[in-house]
């Protein structure tokens, strides 16, 4: 138990990134760590990438060449919101905030605030999203 919470109620799965321990067994993650890893997997998976599960993922890669503007940030936030609502039932989204990275003009930062459904505990994760730095959005 971590922080008085039985980690089994939050779930368990193969760790991400995949790894093999010193004992030769597959690495596992549980609890809050497993949920964070699940969110990362969902957001880093493109639509159509998973065989037999074409609608899984957020589909953020096609936005790679879009300009780092408020309009693109809104589209990124919408894709994140829709994908997490569809694929991660262990959380309740509270906010998805996407903004230009302070020092990297070709990167946006998505900050996702959520509540664990099983415990009510509030969590936050941030993900860098590569975008074009120029407003024209070209190469």
Residue 103 main-chain phi, psi, to 5 deg: -115, -10
Residue 118: predicted pLDDT? 87
Residue 1: predicted pLDDT? 43
The pTM of the full predicted model, rounded to 2 decimals, is 0.79
Cα 93 from Cα 115, distance rounded (Å): 6
3-state secondary structure of 69: coil
> What is the set of domains in the chain, with CATH numbers?
7-49+59-130 (3.10.450.40)
Cα torsion angle, 5, 93, 55, 38, sign: negative
Q: Which residues pair with 99 in a beta bridge?
A: 109
What parts of the chain have a pLDDT lower than 50?
1-2, 5, 137-139
């Amino acid at each position: 138990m971590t922080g008085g919470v039985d980690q089994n109620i939050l779930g368990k799965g193969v760790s991400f990134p995949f790894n093999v321990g010193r004992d030769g067994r597959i690495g596992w993650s549980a609890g809050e760590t497993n949920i964070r890893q699940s969110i990362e997997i969902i957001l880093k998976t493109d639509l159509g990438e998973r065989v037999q599960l074409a609608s899984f993922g957020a589909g953020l890669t096609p936005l790679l060449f879009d300009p780092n503007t408020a309009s693109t940030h809104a589209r990124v936030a919408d894709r994140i919101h829709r994908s997490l609502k569809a694929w991660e039932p262990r959380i309740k989204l509270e906010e998805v905030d996407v903004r230009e990275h302070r020092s990297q003009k070709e990167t946006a930062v998505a900050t996702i605030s959520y509540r664990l459904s099983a415990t009510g505990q509030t969590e936050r994760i941030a993900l860098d999203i590569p975008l074009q730095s120029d407003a024209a959005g070209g190469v």
